[in-house]
Amino acid sequence: MAEKRGVTIRELAEAAGVSIGTVSRALKGQPGLSEQTRAQVLGVAQRMGYDVGKLRTGKPRRMLFLYNRSIGSLATNPFYSYVLHGAETACREAGVPLSMMSVLGGEDIAVQVRRHEAEALLGAGYFDPEAMEAIRRCELPLVLVDHFYPGVRCVNDDNQLGAWLATRHLLEGGAKRVAAIFGPLAHHSVSLRAKGFRRALYEAGRLFDPDYEVTLDPSLEYRDAGRDAMRRLLELPEPPDAVFAYNDSTAIFAMEVCHEHGLRVPQDIRFIGYDDIEEAAHSKPPLSTVKMDKEALGHVAARALIEGDTAPNDASLPVELVVRESSRAPEPQPEAVAPRKGRRQPAAAAR
User: Has residue 252 got a pLDDT over 90?
Assistant: yes
User: Does the structure show a pLDDT above 50 at 213?
Assistant: yes
State the average pLDDT over residues 188-210: 96
The arithmetic mean of pLDDT across residues 312-324, rounded, is: 94
Percent of the chain with pLDDT strictly greater than 90: 62
Give me the sheet containing 270-272, strands edge to edge.
Answer: 213-215, 178-182, 242-245, 270-272
Write out pLDDT tens, residues 106-143: 678 888 888 898 999 999 999 999 999 999 888 899 99
- pLDDT category at 271 given cuts 50, 70, 90 is very high
For residue 70, name the pLDDT band (cuts at 50, 70, 90). confident
Least confident of 23-27, 191-195, 305-309: 23-27
Report yes or no: 198 and 178 within 8 Å, Cβ to Cβ: no
The arrangement of strands across the sheet holding 98-103 comes to 98-103, 63-68, 120-124, 142-145, 153-157, 313-317
Q: What DSSP element (H or E) covers 21?
A: helix 20-28
| Residue 75 confidence class, pLDDT cut points 50, 70, 90 | confident
Whether 289 shows a pLDDT value over 60: the answer reads yes
Contact between 56 and 28 under an 8 Å Cβ cutoff? The reply is yes
Residues 89-113: tens digit of each pLDDT: 999 999 999 999 998 776 788 888 8
CA distance 90 to 95: 9
In this prediction, residue 8 carries a pLDDT of: 72
